[in-house]
Amino acid sequence: MLEKIIRKYYDEIFRYCYHHVGSRTVAEDLCQDTFVSFIEHYEGYRPLGKTKNYLYTIARNKCHDHYKKKTPLIVEQVPEQETGQRMEETVIMREMVMTLPEDFREAVILRYFQSMPYQDIASVLAISLSLAKYRVKRGLELLADMEGGAHGTT
Amino acid sequence: MGQRKMKKRLKRYAAACEKIVPVEKEQRIQEILQAGRQQENMAGGSFRQVADSAFGYRARGTVWSFLLEQVGYLGRYCLVWQAAWLALFYYMVRHGVAQLFGKDNGNALLVVVSILPPLLILLTVEEVTKVYQRSMLEIEYATKYSLRSAVMIRMSVLCVIHSFILMICIVCLHFSTEAELGRLFVYGFTPMTMATALLFKMMQHWQGEFLLRASVGVYVLMAGLAFVGSSGYVNCYQPAYFKIWCIVCAIGIVSVVRQMIRLNRKLESYEAVVQ
């Protein structure tokens, strides 16, 4: 059963970590740490919400710890089969998201990269539903402003 | 750039990232499982045992130990509230229920006996909503006893505890006021059976926070209705209609059993989906 849970959520958690750290190897390390931590704390775990959200919360903390250790802006990998302008756009997009303030960045990643419903975002971030919606909206506004500013300066 | 365009770009980026797959997935999963096995050894049993302890019961324990640990699962605050409830009841009996309501003793007794059962269930409704989380099936499934058996056992334990407390209160009332025991039983258990049947019914349709709020609303309403019905504003919950309320009480008991069976079936179907 544990294996089932790991297999079911591994890719999703890996991708979430990847969005945070931008490196496939580091993301795999963080993803592994997340599941190991899940096992370690399983004994004291009380089932009050979705398992997925619980895993996301652990992964989020692991990414936070990673940020504390080193700068998050590593653009080591870009999606394969992406070339030229498309690749450049992808890198820019990632850099823009990473320059967002932490709270908004987290909300944007969960909403647009992980396609998570607002209710779950609120649960993972331990905030209210309305605040989750606000953070996503504000994050999007900031990104749009950033893009507008970048176009304005060039 | 507009927000709509930005949304599209973000989604495009997310779609591009879908192509990124972990290269060492299998190897990493094996390492995680290895860590899990080490955790087993540290806990002195199989992972299943470690998992089961999270739910308050042991996979290799007996049915009796499972039952006992379900009682232990009940939150401490729940027991504190029940103690407070009993203290309130004691206060009412000690100071004379008639004096509290300023009416004749028979009617005041009915008011107390009919209002308190829904409030008693209200104290533990959070425990019930906590255990009943459909999303937790995947973990519950890993244990020896399924979510279905855990929910049904916990509900039964709560039902037994409530009935026991109510019976003690009714017997105390009987000795302190010399009111007829049979009447006290009927007027006490009718709102309780109806509230319990309603809770089971709601559990079939709702869960989580919504279930909790709906249950609280229904129980407060039920206590209010019992008060209005027995306090003389609406003369329906009166000693004169005792036979009718006996029938209602019987219907309530049948409804509880019926709704419990239905809930059991519903949980069974969820399990089938998970499997």
Structural domain includes residue B75: yes
pLDDT above 90 covers a percentage of chain B that reads 0
Of B20, B24, B50, the CB nearest to A15: B20
Name, in order, each residue with C-beta under 8 angstroms of B123's C-beta and a sequence gap of 6 or more.
B78, B81, B82, B85
Residues of chain B contacting A82 with CB distance shorter than 8 Å: 16
Q: pLDDT per residue over B78-118, tens digit each?
A: 777 777 877 777 777 666 655 555 555 556 666 777 777 77
Test B10 with A108 for CB contact under 8 angstroms.
yes
DSSP A36-64: HHHHHTSTT----S-HHHHHHHHHHHHHH
Test B29 with A7 for CB contact under 8 angstroms.
yes
Structural domain includes residue B89: yes
Q: How many domains in chain B? A: 2
Distance from CA of A14 to the nearest CA of B (A): 7
What does the domain layout of chain A look like in residue ranges? 1-77, 81-154
Test B28 with A15 for CB contact under 8 angstroms.
no
B-contacting residues in A 35-94 (Cβ below 8 Å): 35-36, 39-40, 42-51, 77, 79-82, 86, 89-90, 93-94
pLDDT of residue B56: 40
- Choices 3.40.50.720, 3.40.47.10, 3.40.50.1950, 1.10.1740.10: CATH for A1-77: 1.10.1740.10
Of A7, A51, A143, the CB nearest to B139: A51
- Do residue B102 and residue B42 come from a single domain? no
Q: How many CB atoms lie within 10 A of CB B248?
A: 16
Test B20 with A79 for CB contact under 8 angstroms.
yes
- Do residue B27 and residue B97 come from a single domain? no
pLDDT band at B41 (very low <50, low <70, confident <90, very high): low
Test A43 with B50 for CB contact under 8 angstroms.
yes
- Do residue B106 and residue B203 come from a single domain? yes
Distance from CA of A125 to the nearest CA of B (A): 18
Q: What is the pTM of this model?
A: 0.48
Residues of chain B contacting A109 with CB distance shorter than 8 Å: none
Distance, in Å, from the CA atom of A115 to the CA atom of A113, rounded to the nearest integer, reads 6
Residues of chain A contacting B20 with CB distance shorter than 8 Å: 15, 18, 24, 77, 79-80
Task: Indicate the average pLDDT of chain B.
Answer: 72
Nearest C-alpha in B relative to A7: B29
- Do residue B253 and residue B164 come from a single domain? yes
CA neighbours closer than 13 Å in the CB half-sphere of residue B131: 24
pLDDT band at B49 (very low <50, low <70, confident <90, very high): very low
CA neighbours closer than 13 Å in the CB half-sphere of residue A67: 15
- Do residue B164 and residue B74 come from a single domain? yes
- Do residue B45 and residue B165 come from a single domain? no
- The residue segments making up the domain with residue B231 are 62-274
- Do residue B26 and residue B76 come from a single domain? no
* Interface probe with B: pick from A32, A33, A89, most Cβ of B within 10 Å: A32
Of B36, B55, B136, the CB nearest to A39: B36
- Do residue B243 and residue B164 come from a single domain? yes
- Do residue B33 and residue B160 come from a single domain? no
Q: Does B268 touch chain A (CB under 8 A)?
A: no
- Do residue B190 and residue B89 come from a single domain? yes
Structural domain includes residue B12: no
Q: B147-177 and B181-205 are packed helices; what angle lies between their axes, rounded to 10 degrees?
A: 160
Distance, in Å, from the CA atom of B119 to the CA atom of B261, rounded to the nearest integer, reads 24
Structural domain includes residue B7: no
Residues of chain B contacting A141 with CB distance shorter than 8 Å: 3
Q: Does B221 touch chain A (CB under 8 A)?
A: no
* Interface probe with B: pick from A75, A93, A141, most Cβ of B within 10 Å: A93
CATH assignment, A81-154? 1.10.10.10
- Do residue B208 and residue B81 come from a single domain? yes
Cβ-count burial of B159 within 10 angstroms (0-12 exposed, 13-18 middle, 19+ buried)? middle
- DSSP single-letter state for residue A99: T
B162-B136-B120 Cα angle (round to 5): 15
| Domain boundary residue, one of B54, B78, B101 | B54
Mean pLDDT to the nearest integer, B262-273: 73
Distance from CA of B199 to the nearest CA of A (A): 19
How remote is the C-alpha of B164 from its chain's centroid? 16
Residues of chain A contacting B50 with CB distance shorter than 8 Å: 42-43
Say which range, A63-67, B18-22, B97-101, has the weakest mean pLDDT.
B97-101
Distance, in Å, from the CA atom of A133 to the CA atom of A112, rounded to the nearest integer, reads 12
Q: Which range among B12-16, B125-129, B135-139, B204-208 has the greatest average pLDDT?
A: B12-16
Task: Single out the residue of B112, B107, B100 nearest to residue B233, CA to CA.
Answer: B107
Cβ–Cβ under 8 Å, residues A73 and A101: no
Q: Does A126 touch chain B (CB under 8 A)?
A: no
pLDDT band at A50 (very low <50, low <70, confident <90, very high): confident
- Do residue B46 and residue B93 come from a single domain? no
pLDDT of residue B57: 38
Size of interface A-B (CB pairs under 8 A): 129
How remote is the C-alpha of A4 from its chain's centroid? 22
Interface ipTM: 0.74
Q: pLDDT per residue over A82-126, tens digit each?
A: 555 566 677 788 888 888 888 888 888 888 888 888 988 888 888
A-contacting residues in B 243-262 (Cβ below 8 Å): none
Structural domain includes residue B9: no
b/e code A14-32 from CB counts within 10 Å (16+ = b): bbbbbbbbbbbebbbbbbb
Structural domain includes residue B5: no
Distance, in Å, from the CA atom of A2 to the CA atom of A39, rounded to the nearest integer, reads 9
